[in-house]
Structure 1
Amino acid sequence: MKFSQFNIEHKIENNILLYNTFSSGILLIEEEDLNEYKNIKLDIDKNESLLKKELIKGNMIVEDSLNEVDLIKYYSNILRYKNEGLFLTIAPTLSCNFVCPYCYEKGVDFTTMNENTIENTLKFIKNNIKKDEPLSISWYGGEPLMAFNIIEKLTNEILKYVNIENFSADIVTNGYLLTREYAKKMKEMKINSAQITLDGPPKIHDSRRKLSSGGGSFDRIIENIKNSCDLIDITIRVNLDNTNKEGIDELVSILKENDIYDKVFLYIAKVEDLLNENNINILKEEEFTEYNSRFLRKNKNFSNISEFNPNICGAVTNNSFVIDPNGNLYKCWDEIGRKKGCIGNVTDGIELNNTVIYYGAYNPVEDNQCRKCNLLPICMGGCPYLKKMYGKNDCFEKKDIVIRKIENIYKQKLGYN
C-alpha cells in the first residue's frame, strides 16, 4: 500500500490535519497518535493499527497498483462525455441596468431574445433531451431580470415538457430588480438560488456598480436580499481588486447589522481583465490568496470544503451549452456575444469548429504540472478559457486557501474559536 498523492498535510497546534482532495476526507491526527502515524509512514505494509484503517477509509492510503491520476481521468471522462441530460446557461438579454468597469461584455451588442429565438431555443432543448432526463438552467446576462417575462415564458413551456423532478435552475443577477414578488415567482419556476454581487460597503460598491443612470445600487440590493433570502438561497460574491480590497470587513459588518450574514453564503473572487492583462488594479495571485485567506479566517462559516470536480466546468462537458439572446451557442459564458467563441446556433445546431475541439479535447491530466499536483481532483487544471487566452494554467484552487477552508471546517466541528 502507499500514501495517496492527493493528501495535504497541515500542522494545527500540536496535531496534524490530513485532507485528501479526491475523497474530501479530513482526519485530525492528535499529538498522542503522531508516533503511530510516523510508524505507518515508515512501514506502511506491516502496520495494522486503527489509525491505518481510518487512513484507508479516507482514501489517504491506497493500493500500490492504483494509478490515481488515471482514476481521476476515468471519472472525468464518464461525466464529461455522457449524453444524458442537458445543462444550459441562457442569457435572455445582454442589456444591463448597471455599468460596471470590469464587465467582460464590453464591445458586445446588448440584444434581447425575440419570439423567433424563444421558439427555436425551446426546439433546441426538446431536440437534445428526453422527457425524463435532467435539465438544468442557469439564467445569465446582461441582467436577466430585465427580461423576466422571457424567463417566465421559456420556463413555463419547458416545464410542460420535462419531468419537474428532474428540472433545476438558478440565476446570476445584480440583485437590483430582485423584489420579493419576483423571488416568489422564481421559486414557483424552480429557480431556487441566486448569485448577487456586492463589491464592498455603499461608498465602494456604488462607485463600481453604478446604475446606467449614474445612481447607486447598494441600499436597494440589501433590501432585496433581506426580502427574498427566506424564499431562495442567495450567494453574495465580492469581485476583489486593488480598489476595494480593504472594504470586506465593513461589508461583513453591514450584513450583520441587516440580519443577513447568517442567511447567505459570501465569497470573494479575483477580478480578471481579459482585455488588459497589465491592468494595475488587478491583484496578483499571491495578493488575492492572502486577502482570501484573511477573509476565511475571520468568517469561518463561509468555508465550504472543496470536493472532487470531475466535470471541471460546463465548457468542457459534452451536453453543456451557453445560449445568447440571438440563439448563438457557446461553450463558455466568457465568450458570449463574441463571434470567435460561437459554436453554432439553436436553429442549425452545433458546428465542429476549433472552439468545440479545444474544449472537447481539454484534458488537465495530460499536463505534467497538473499530474503531479495534489490539488488535481478539486482544481482539474483550472479555467480552460483562461488557459486558452493566456497559454498557462489559471488554477481554480490555491493550496493556502484550501488549507484555510479545511482548518476552519474542522475547528467549527470541534467547537474551536
Structure 2
Amino acid sequence: MSAGTALGASTARLRLSRYDVVVERGDKVWVHNGLSGRIVAVAADEWREVGLFLAGESSRASTEILRELTVGRMIVADDLDELEVLERRYRAGTADRSSFGLTIVTSLGCNFDCPYCFQVKPSEVLDAETERLLLEVLDEQLPTIRQFEVTWYGGEPLLGKDRIYRLSEAFLERCDAGHIAYSASIVTNGYLLTRETAERLRACRVGSAQITLDGPPESHDLMRPLKNGRPTFDAILDNVVESASVLPIAIRVNLDASNSGEHERLLDLLVDRGLSGRVTVYPGRIVAYDEGIGAPSESYRPTCYTLPEFAGVERDFLAQARARGLASTTLPQPISTPCTAVRVNELVVGARGELYKCWDSVGNHHEVVGHLRSWKDPNDRALKWLHYDPFTDEGCRSCIALPGCMGGCAHHQMIDPGDSKCSTYRLTYRQQVEEYVAAAEAAGSGAGPRHPLLPIVTVNT
C-alpha cells in the first residue's frame, strides 16, 4: 500500500500535520493535533507502518488507522496550507455576526484595593440611560443573531447586582421570545457572592463565576484587601463553599514572585473546606503595564514572572491541584479568535454607556471607541483591535500553539510586544501532552482523574 493510493480515490501525497505532538509510551503512540483538538492512540508497531506509508514505502498500515488519523487532521495532504486553514477560520470568527456578545460593567467602582489592578475605578454604577440603550441595541440585533452572550464585569459587578437582575430579566424575555440562545457568566471578586446571590444569578441563567483567591489568607489579604485595608479571604472562601453547589465556580490564583511558593497551602485549605471536585482552580500570570492612567499596576512590574518562569510555576501548580481533585488534565482546544477585542460583533460596555473593545481597557478614557448612543459608528480607536492580525507575525505563524490561541492577547501585543501575549503551551506543549496521556492511561486503569478527558480514539486492528 502506498501513500498515493491508500485512501481510495485520493492520489495526493500525505504527511503529518505541523500541529501534531507525538508521544511514545510503552507499546502505544499518542498523537495530539492542535488543528482539530483530537488525540488518537495507536499501537507502536502500527505507527511505524504509518511512517512507512507516508514515506511512500511498502506498508501494512490499516485503512482504519489512516482514516482516524486523517479525520483527526494528524495526517493531511502534502500540499495543504494549514496556516491558510487557520487564517480562514480566524477571518470567519472575527466577522461572524450570527452571535452577539456584550461584556457589561455594572459597576466600575470596586470594594477592593488590589495593588496590581489595571483599572482606575471611580464609583460609577450602570445608570438608567445605559440600561435603556443596552436593550435598544439588543432589539436591533435580535432579527439577525442566533445567540447572545453576556459577561457581567467590573470593577466589581455585584456592587450593581440589581442591574444584573433587571437586565437579565429583560434579556431573557427577548431571547426566549425570539428563540435566541442565551448564556451569561460573571467575573467577581466573590466578596458579595452569598448563596442567596448565587441563586439569583442562576435564575438569571448565569452559568459560571470566576473568583480570585491569591494564596492563603496572609498572601491573599495583602494582594486583595478591601478599600479600608481589611482582609477578604475568609469571607470569599465562605461564599465559595456556600455557592459552589449553586454555580460552577472557577478560582483564579494570580501568581508572581511574592506569592507563588504558597499555593500548596491554599489548595490544602480548599480541600479542607470540602471543595475537591466542586470547583476548578487554575493559576493566572500577572502582567503589569503602564498606560499612563494612574492604575495601581503601573508600579507593580518588578515582581512579575517572565513567560518561561511562569510556565514552570504553572506546571507545578496544576500538578498539585490535580492531585487534590481541584483541576483537570486538559489540552488547548482549537478556537477561531482569541477574545472579544477582535470580534466585530462584540463590545465592552462601561457603566456610563461608553464602549471599549478589550476588558483591559475598561476605565481608560484613551481607549473608548464609542458610545451606546452611536454604537454602529465606533471611532478609529476600534480599528486597531479589528485589524489585529496574528498571521502577519512570524512568531505566531511558526508557533505550534497557534490553533489554540490565535495570536493570544492583542492588548499585551500592542503595549509590550513579546511573549506576554502567549500561553505556556508554546513552551511546554510536549510536557502538557505527556501529562495528558499519563492521566488518560491512569483513567483507563480506574486510577485516573475525576474530570472527563477529551474524547480519545484508540485504534486497534
TM-score range with shorter-chain normalisation?
A: over 0.9
Aligned length: 416
Letter in 1 for 2:408: G
Aligned twin of 1:151: 164
Residue 173 (1) aligns with residue 195 (2)? no
SS of the residue corresponding to residue 235 of structure 2 reads helix
Aligned twin of 2:413: 387
Is there any run of 5+ residues in structure 2 with no aligned partner, and where?
Answer: 1-13, 291-297, 448-461
Aligned twin of 1:137: 150
The correspondence for 2:68, drawn from 54, 78, 88, is 54
Aligned twin of 2:452: none
Aligned twin of 1:124: 137
Distance 1:70 1:209, change over 3 A: same
Residue 194 (1) aligns with residue 209 (2)? yes
* 198-207 or 353-362, larger mean C-alpha shift: 353-362
Shift of 1:214: 1.5
Aligned twin of 1:84: 98
Q: Distance in 2 between matches of 1:121 and 1:45?
A: 65
Once the two structures are superposed, residues 161-205 of structure 1 have per-residue CA deviations (whole angstroms, 9 ceiling, x without a partner) of: 222761110000011111110011101100110000011111111
Aligned twin of 2:383: 357
Aligned twin of 2:80: 66
Aligned twin of 2:15: 2
Q: Distance in 1 between matches of 2:48 and 2:190?
A: 54
Letter in 2 for 1:237: R
Q: Distance in 1 between matches of 2:117 and 2:369?
A: 23
Alignment of 1:242-391 (within 5 A): 242-275=257-290, 276=298, 279-300=301-322, 301-391=327-417
Distance 1:45 1:88, change over 3 A: farther
Distance 1:240 1:383, change over 3 A: same
Letter in 2 for 1:412: A
Aligned twin of 2:34: 21
Distance 1:40 1:201, change over 3 A: farther
* 3-12 or 70-79, larger mean C-alpha shift: 3-12
The correspondence for 1:93, drawn from 75, 83, 107, is 107
Distance 1:414 1:168, change over 3 A: same
Q: Distance in 2 between matches of 1:45 and 1:390?
A: 52
Q: Distance in 1 between matches of 2:232 and 2:412?
A: 30
Aligned twin of 1:111: 124
SS of the residue corresponding to residue 177 of structure 1 reads coil
RMSD: 2.3
Q: Distance in 2 between matches of 1:410 and 1:113?
A: 47
Shift of 1:361: 1.6
Q: Distance in 1 between matches of 2:57 and 2:226?
A: 62
* 66-75 or 171-180, larger mean C-alpha shift: 66-75
Letter in 2 for 1:375: A
* 213-222 or 276-285, larger mean C-alpha shift: 276-285
Q: Distance in 1 between matches of 2:282 and 2:430?
A: 16
Contact 1:296 1:405 in 2 (8 A): no
Aligned twin of 1:182: 197
Once the two structures are superposed, residues 207-245 of structure 1 have per-residue CA deviations (whole angstroms, 9 ceiling, x without a partner) of: 111111221111111111111111111000001101111
Q: Distance in 1 between matches of 2:350 and 2:76?
A: 46
* 1-10 or 388-397, larger mean C-alpha shift: 388-397
The correspondence for 1:204, drawn from 219, 226, 250, is 219
Q: Distance in 2 between matches of 1:278 and 1:16?
A: 45
Distance 1:278 1:263, change over 3 A: closer
Once the two structures are superposed, residues 81-122 of structure 1 have per-residue CA deviations (whole angstroms, 9 ceiling, x without a partner) of: 0222310100011111111110111x3433112212221222
Is there any run of 5+ residues in structure 1 with no aligned partner, and where?
Answer: none
Distance 1:332 1:85, change over 3 A: same
SS of the residue corresponding to residue 337 of structure 2 reads coil
Shift of 1:406: 3.1
* 331-340 or 318-327, larger mean C-alpha shift: 331-340
Letter in 2 for 1:93: S
SS of the residue corresponding to residue 211 of structure 1 reads coil
Residue 413 (1) aligns with residue 440 (2)? yes
Output the TM-score relative to the length of structure 1: 0.93
Percent identity between matched residues is 28
Output the TM-score relative to the length of structure 2: 0.84
